[in-house]
Amino acid sequence: MKKKLIAGNWKMNGSLAANEALVRAVVAGLPQAACKVAVCVPAPYLAQVQALCQGSALELGAQDVSRHEQGAFTGEVSAAMLADFGVRYAIVGHSERRQYHGETDELVAAKAQAALARGITPIACVGETLAEREAGQTEDVVRRQLAAVIDANRSRLGEIVVAYEPVWAIGTGRTATPEQAQQVHAALRAQLAAATPQPERIAILYGGSMNAANAASLLAQPDIDGGLIGGASLKAADFLQIIAAAG
Ligand code: PGA
C-alpha cells in the first residue's frame, strides 16, 4: 500500500518564533509517523523551515509558484528559487488563489508544469463552491479543473498530487462527510485512469476542515490518500494526531 501524505498549509500565518516552536514540536513527534509529512510555508520562511527540517522526515512545501521561469514578474517566486531551498511540494490552484487572485484553470495547469520542470511535486487543488454543489455541479467543476492540469502535464501525470478541497469546507468547520469526499475522489480517480496507466499511484488528498477528530474516518476511504490541512496544521498536537490517523 502506498504511504499516505499529510501536508500542512500554513497559509499566511507564522512568525520566526512561532514557526520554530511549531516545527520543532512536529519534528519531535515524527519518528512514529508511518506516512509522508510536509509543511507548505509562506515563502519568506522557506530558509528557516528548511533548516529546521534538516535531518528529519518532515518535507518542505510552498503555497504557490510562478508559471514563469524568471524575469520581470515582480512579486513572483519561481520554481527554481523554491528548488534552491529544498522545496519538494508546491500547492497550485488553491481556491483562495482562484478566488482572490483570479487564477484560472489554465494558469493553474501552467504552474503545475513549471513546478514539475524543476522536480517539485505540484499539489493541484480542485473543489466546488457551495452554490455549485447545491446546483449539482460538483463533479463537472472538479473534472473541468483537473482536466486542465491533465492536458498540460500528460507525460508527467504520475508525478502530481491532487487535492480535493470543497470550497464550502475550507476554514468553515464544515467537513465533507467521508462518503461525500469518497464519491468525488472516486470520480477524480476515474478521470486520472483515463489519462494514465497507473492512476492509483497518484495521491488524491482531501482538504477542508480536516482535524484530529474527523481525520481517521476520512483517511479510511479507499480513494483518500492523505490530507491537506489548514487550520489544524498550525497546532502541533492536532497536526500530529492527524498524522497518527494516517499511519
Ligand atoms: P482548513 O484549510 O483545513 O483550514 O479548512 C484547508 C486548506 O485550505 O488547504
Ligand 1 neighbours (beta carbon < 6 A):
9, 165, 170-171, 207-210, 228-232
Atom of ligand 1 nearest to the CA of 163: 9
How confident is the model at residue 93, as a pLDDT? 98
How far apart are the C-alpha atoms of 180 and 185, rounded to whole Å? 9
Going by alpha carbons, the residue nearest to atom 1 of ligand 1 is 230
Q: Is residue 70 part of a domain?
A: no
CA 87 to chain centre: 13
**DSSP calls for 152-173:** HTGGGGGG-EEEE--GGGTTTS
* Cβ atoms within 10 Å of 222's Cβ, excluding its own: 10
Across 107-126, average pLDDT: 98
CATH number (domain holding residue 19):
3.20.20.70
Residue 83 lies in a domain: yes
**d(C-alpha 63, C-alpha 41), whole Å:** 6
Instruction: Provide the pLDDT for residue 113.
Output: 98
Atom of ligand 1 nearest to the CA of 232: 3
**Percent of the chain surpassing pLDDT 70:** 100
Q: Taking the CB of residue 155, how many other CB atoms lie within 10 A of it?
A: 8
Grouping H, G, I as helix, E, B as strand and the rest as coil, residue 74 is: coil
Mean pLDDT of 108-133: 98
Evaluate whether residue 19 is within a structural domain: yes
Question: At residue 141, does pLDDT exceed 70?
Answer: yes
Strand partners for 126: 164
Radius of gyration for the chain, computed over Cα atoms and rounded to the nearest angstrom: 17
Where in the sequence is the domain holding 115, given as residue range(s)? Answer: 5-65+75-246
Between strands 36-41 and 5-9, the pairing is parallel
On whether the CB atoms of residues 29 and 236 are closer than 8 A, the answer is: yes
Instruction: Please list the active-site residues.
Output: 94, 165
| In-domain check, residue 130 | yes
Q: Which of 92, 162, 170 to mutate to test the pocket of ligand 1 (most atoms within 8 A of CB)?
A: 170
Three-class SS of residue 234? helix
Look up cell 500530529; give the residue. 240
Read off the pLDDT band of 1 (50, 70, 90).
low
**To the nearest whole number, what is the mean pLDDT of the chain?**
97
Going from the Cα of 46 to the center of ligand 1, the distance in angstroms, rounded, reads 20
* pTM, entire model: 0.98
Position 32 pLDDT exceeds 80: no
The answer to whether position 91 is within a domain reads yes
186: left (phi over 0), alpha (psi -120 to 50) or beta: alpha
- 15 lies in a domain? yes
Residue 146: predicted pLDDT: 98
Confidence of residue 92 (pLDDT cuts 50, 70, 90): very high
Cα 179 to middle of ligand 1, angstroms: 19
- Ligand 1 centre from 128 Cα, in Å? 14
Residue 68's pLDDT is what?
A: 98
Q: By alpha-carbon position, which residue is closest to atom 2 of ligand 1?
A: 230
Nearest CA to ligand 1 atom 7: 230
Does residue 218 belong to any structural domain of this protein? yes
Tell whether the model's pLDDT for residue 234 goes beyond 80: yes
Confidence of residue 33 (pLDDT cuts 50, 70, 90): confident
| Contact residues for 240 (Cβ-Cβ < 8 A; gap 6+) | 25, 26, 29
Q: Which atom of ligand 1 is nearest to the CA of 171?
A: 5
For residue 31, name the pLDDT band (cuts at 50, 70, 90): confident
Distance 131 CA to ligand 1 centre (A): 19
Split into its structural domains, the chain has a count of 1
